[in-house]
Amino acid sequence: MQPLPSRLSVFQSAKDVGQTGVRAAWERLCLIQETLLKSRAKSQGNVAVIDIGSNSVRLVVFDGVSRSPLALFNEKVLCGLGRGVGAEGRLSEDAMAMALDSLERFVHLSHAMRAKEIAPFATAAVRDASNGAQFLQQIQDRCGISVRLLSGIEEAKYSALGVLAGAPEARGLMGDLGGGSLELVGLHGRQTVSEGNALTSQNSVTLPLGLLRLMEDSGYKRSKAREIIMSHLDTLNWLPERQDFYPVGGAWRNLARIHMERTNYPLHVIHQYCLNHDEALRTLDVVERMTKNDLLTIKGVSKRRVDTLPFAALLLRCLMERCTPRSVVFSAFGVREGILYDRLNADMAAVDPLIEMCYDISHRASRFESMGNALMLFSDGLFPDDSEEERRLRYAACLLGDIGWRVHPDYRADQSYERVLQAPFSGIDHAGRAFIALAVHARYGGDLSKNLLRAPRELLHESLFHKALLLGKTMRLGFAYSGATPALLSEAAIAFEEAQVVLTVPEKEKALASGMVERRFENVAKALHMKGRIHFREA
């Protein structure tokens, strides 16, 4: 079977071919979406992933194996299985008992949530402990599940795939910091891990530098910890330099939260939160000077992780000294998401995760199927110079243009804005989130004077801010004209003609272009500082 074209490529093929081409492109998009839905339907059914790590044991129940899976449930217990493994070589009885209690609960919850599959795996602590196999047998006997023990290279592979699932074009270095080990993988976008190709020592490594192990091996002394870290990093001659670094793991995510809180950042979303090189170093300076009590006062920082944060900061500093990354881009995705991503067929793996998530939301929330496609094609004439990324963000906004219809009209703009801004998107940076949220807010005629819009005002360049507003007004016009029915909107067009903006509709639909439609078209023309004209096209 030939691979499916991307949705955006269909838009490109519709340019400069007139209204017939627009209608054909809309129909082609509907066909692609139907095909993807069928592909997804084959892998539907909740999947419970149980991560038995060196610090925590976690259950995440996903709504299926898809390009943008939603976490229906997420719970962790800090069991500390990795404590003492470095020194004693064994898992402690207390830690195993706590983990077994948690795992028994997780299995019961998974069955109650009708998971079609339970996928448990264990990592460094169990891998390195002399009694690890005995512990896995205890899990089998008590909980009735067979746990997959990941090798270091497998853990690195799935961590890398997880980062790529959330940021498909990621290039540079990924570091997944757990309690028992640190995995490092060189990232090269989608080509990082090709089908059937295992990672090698040329682009990945697992190191005994997990936080619990590092703290114990160093006697809880940071000077000694630094010596241990650098002795391992100095043996690696393949680490990429002056590229981006993608940290994974709860301890490093807490560093991001500290920076957000100290800078009063307008959006508390960890995924793809980005610090440039100097900002990252300044944050590490602050954390390394903080006392335990200082850390406890910071909102969002886990109380159970305050002892490990100085060592997490030290480890990141050593990596930055070694690689001098341009930026540090935090990832909320890791091994668990990587395991799901590895199961996708070729078509689904190649799908844009942002567009797929937005389409999924649209499919569940919109009144009429494919309205987002019709909106995108309708708006195309007003954005002829969009970059590929701008077209992608515009399409995402169009797909989400009808998500607030069930809400009371007085609250649609604000609630839709908040829902979009904080959605569990992947494949998008924070400025992109702000663009889509602002466009949807404007689509519902939201009040621009509200403090609610702090994120787009601070994160968007002025030109993108106004482009989002124009898109929102254009979507508002499209909904008014068509009554949210895509078939009607696919027959209309809006574009520039000789220093005017022209709305073209079929002569037979002339009655639709009056009253509210005229007023909303006038608002679009005003936003462009142009005169507007409605043209009625003969059959």
> Helices 371-379 and 388-399: crossing angle, nearest 10°?
140
Alpha-carbon Rg for the chain, nearest whole angstrom, is: 26
pLDDT on residue 197 = 46
At residue 75, does pLDDT exceed 80? Answer: yes
pLDDT on residue 297 = 86
C-alpha to C-alpha distance for 113 and 100, rounded to whole angstroms: 20
At residue 164, does pLDDT exceed 70? Answer: yes
Which of 182, 196, 80, 96 has its CA nearest to residue 141? 96
At residue 503, does pLDDT exceed 80? Answer: yes
Which CATH architecture best describes the domain 152-338? 2-Layer Sandwich (3.30)
C-alpha to C-alpha distance for 132 and 306, rounded to whole angstroms: 28
List, for residues 35-58, the tens digit of each pLDDT value: 666 555 555 689 999 999 999 999
Top mean pLDDT of 344-353, 357-366, 425-434 is at: 425-434
Query: In 3-state terms, what secondary structure has residue 513?
Result: coil
Query: For the chain, what are the domain ranges?
Result: 7-40+347-537, 44-149, 152-338
- Report residue 220's pLDDT band, with 50, 70 and 90 as the boundaries: very high
C-alpha to C-alpha distance for 163 and 241, rounded to whole angstroms: 19
At residue 278, does pLDDT exceed 80? Answer: yes
In this structure, are strands 148-149 and 493-497 parallel, antiparallel, or unpaired? unpaired
* Tokens describing residue 9: 């490529």
Query: In sequence order, which residues have a C-beta less than 8 Å from that of residue 182 and are 6 or more positions away?
Result: 175, 176, 206, 207, 208, 209, 210, 315
**Ranges of H-type helices in 218-308:** 222-233, 250-263, 277-289, 292-296
- What is the rounded average pLDDT of the residues 455-470? 97
At residue 465, does pLDDT exceed 50? Answer: yes
Q: Do domains 7-40+347-537 and 44-149 have the same CATH topology?
A: no
- In sequence order, the β-bridge partners of residue 177 are 182
Residue 107 main-chain phi, psi, to 5 deg = -65, -40
pLDDT on residue 3 = 47
- Report residue 433's pLDDT band, with 50, 70 and 90 as the boundaries: very high
At residue 16, does pLDDT exceed 70? Answer: no
pLDDT on residue 41 = 54
Percentage of the chain beyond pLDDT 90 is 76
At residue 2, does pLDDT exceed 50? Answer: no
At residue 32, does pLDDT exceed 70? Answer: no
- In sequence order, the β-bridge partners of residue 532 are 501
Q: Note the Cα 254 to chain centre separation in Å.
A: 17
pLDDT on residue 366 = 87
List, for residues 356-371, the tens digit of each pLDDT value: 999 889 988 889 878 9
Q: How far is CA 449 from CA 29, 431, 452, in A?
A: 37, 20, 8
- Name the pTM for this structure: 0.90
Q: Domain 44-149's class?
A: alpha beta
List, for residues 242-260, the tens digit of each pLDDT value: 999 999 999 999 999 999 9
pLDDT on residue 8 = 60
List, for residues 488-499, the tens digit of each pLDDT value: 999 999 999 988
Task: List strands edge to edge, sheet with 182-188.
Answer: 204-207, 182-188, 171-177, 244-248, 327-329, 274-276
Which CATH architecture best describes the domain 7-40+347-537? Orthogonal Bundle (1.10)
At residue 29, does pLDDT exceed 70? Answer: no
> Helices 462-482 and 388-399: crossing angle, nearest 10°?
40
C-alpha to C-alpha distance for 394 and 385, rounded to whole angstroms: 12
* Tokens describing residue 84: 């003492």
List, for residues 521-537, the tens digit of each pLDDT value: 999 999 999 999 999 98
pLDDT on residue 34 = 64
Top mean pLDDT of 7-11, 41-45, 447-451 is at: 447-451
Compute the mean pLDDT over every residue in the chain, rounded to the nearest whole number: 90
List, for residues 77-102, the tens digit of each pLDDT value: 999 999 988 888 999 999 999 999 99
Query: In sequence order, which residues have a C-beta less than 8 Å from that of residue 378 and are 6 or more positions away?
Result: 474, 478, 489, 490, 492, 493, 494
